[in-house]
Structure 1
Amino acid sequence: MEFCEKVRKEMNVYFEASFDHPFVQGIADGTLPLEKFKFYMLQDAYYLKHYTKVLALAAAKATNDEDVQYFLETAKFIHEAELELHRKTFKDLGVTAEEMEQFEVAPAAYNYVSHMYQSVFTGDVAEAFAAILPCPWLYQEIGQKLKYASPDIPLYAEWIAVYGSDEMKDTIDQQKKMMNRFASEQSLKETVLEAHFKKSCYYEWQFWEMAWTKQDWIEGVYHNEPAKN
């Protein structure tokens, strides 16, 4: 069993929890409140900004020219294409300049990004890739599951179309082949790679929770009344 097949099976609980999460289901049926989607998109823009930097750092640690080129081209694509989608979405959602200036990263997004940086700064290219692969892989599977959904909110339909495309599937197939190659070249580090992959799967699930609850840094973490003694 190759690495990706193994970890996908072992981490299925996180994938299924994401598929069934009310945030994701709300995108599919169009019932997700736009305020929660706005919160999510702001946090996702923060995540993607740092995701592209982690890709560039992974390129610096890659040991062959093809991998270097792939990481740099992927970073450029995400920076230009996905962040442009976010900018368009911000306009559609009415995100103001003041909201952008006052943006504060939520704990789950901060922790996820910190985990990716930790993997690339303290590990090699295989460790970095194990930490960043779950994000696009999960989104591609969500896109495939929701591709026939027809929410009456155009933003949600566009979101599904991006991640449910054949191009996205081809990209993930290529990335899984790369991850399998990295894992086979460093079989003695498989446990470490699995740990990075697992943490990212957990943080992916937490990202939906974060957006669903509009998580912040107040006591109790969420927008609930502080616990009384």
Structure 2
Amino acid sequence: MRFFEKLKQACTEDWHAYTHHAFTEGMGDGSLPLPAFKNYLVQDYLFLIEFARAYALAIYKGENLSDMRKALASVQGILDVEMDLHTKLCAQWGLSLEQMEATPEASQTLAYTRYVLDTGMRGNLLELKIALAPCVIGYAEIGARLAASASGLAEDNPYKVWISEYAGEEYQQLAEAAIEELDDLYNRYGSQQGFDRYAQIFANATKLEADFWQMSL
């Protein structure tokens, strides 16, 4: 069993609560209230800024050039590609860059992003990537599941753009690369901490992801 699957298996209920949250189900059938989605978009913009900082920390934590280059590519992808795409998506929903930057971080956003950064600061590269995994890999799982549903990509579903982005081949490949990297890092760092330590980090981050959905509702 792959390391990521072991982490999921160790917190089955929390993982299901996150990936099948009422927020995601509402996107899947199109019933999610629009104000909730707009609130999510703004907080996700603020989250991505801290996410980029976490990957910048991964450059520092990297043991070799390969580690550092992977982290650098992630930072560049967030700042140069994902942020632009997110800003354009927000604009379609009537949200300007100025509005988003003027919005304070919600307590759930603060809790999640600072947990990831604190975990990375105190731990090794594996622990940092475990804290990032529920977001990076979880979104791919959610996107693929919703896209496969009867209403996920229906023309009248206002959230089909979000779903198609995370169900798309490019993001699915990114998530698979993250899973492979976890396997590699576990082979290198696994003996430094017991599995319970890694499972707890993953469970904490998963719960914080669910809180992030709930915040928007």
How many Å separate the matches in 2 of 1:98 and 1:68? Answer: 32
Unaligned runs of 5+ in 2: none
One-letter amino acid matched to 1:179: L
How many Å separate the matches in 1 of 2:88 and 2:163? Answer: 15
How many Å separate the matches in 2 of 1:116 and 1:211? Answer: 20
Partner deviation per Cα, 1:61-101 (whole Å, 9 max, x = no partner): 10111111011101111222221122112211112466335
One-letter amino acid matched to 1:177: E
Q: Aligned pairs, how many?
A: 212
State the Cα distance separating 1:110 from its structure 2 match. 0.6
Equivalences for 1:16-55 in 2 at 5 Å? 16-55=16-55
One-letter amino acid matched to 1:164: A
Q: Which is worse superposed, 157-166 or 179-188? A: 179-188
Unaligned runs of 5+ in 1: 213-229
Aligned residue in 2 for 1:188: 192
Cα distance change on mapping 1:23 and 1:167 into 2, 3 Å: same
Structure number with bigger Rg: 1
Alpha-carbon contact 1:27-1:151 (below 8 Å) kept: no
Equivalences for 1:97-176 in 2 at 5 Å? 99-100=99-100, 102-148=102-148, 149-152=152-155, 156-176=159-179
How many Å separate the matches in 1 of 2:101 and 2:134? Answer: 30
Aligned residue in 2 for 1:201: 206
One-letter amino acid matched to 1:156: Y
TM-score normalised by L of structure 1: 0.86
One-letter amino acid matched to 2:206: C
How many Å separate the matches in 1 of 2:127 and 2:77? Answer: 22
How many Å separate the matches in 1 of 2:215 and 2:17? Answer: 14
| Secondary structure in 1 matching 2:85 | helix
How many Å separate the matches in 2 of 1:97 and 1:158? Answer: 19
The CA RMSD measured in Å over matched residues stands at 1.8
One-letter amino acid matched to 2:204: K
TM-score normalised by L of structure 2: 0.90
Cα distance change on mapping 1:153 and 1:64 into 2, 3 Å: farther
State the Cα distance separating 1:128 from its structure 2 match. 1.0
One-letter amino acid matched to 1:46: L
Higher RCO structure (Cα 8 Å, ≥6 apart): 2
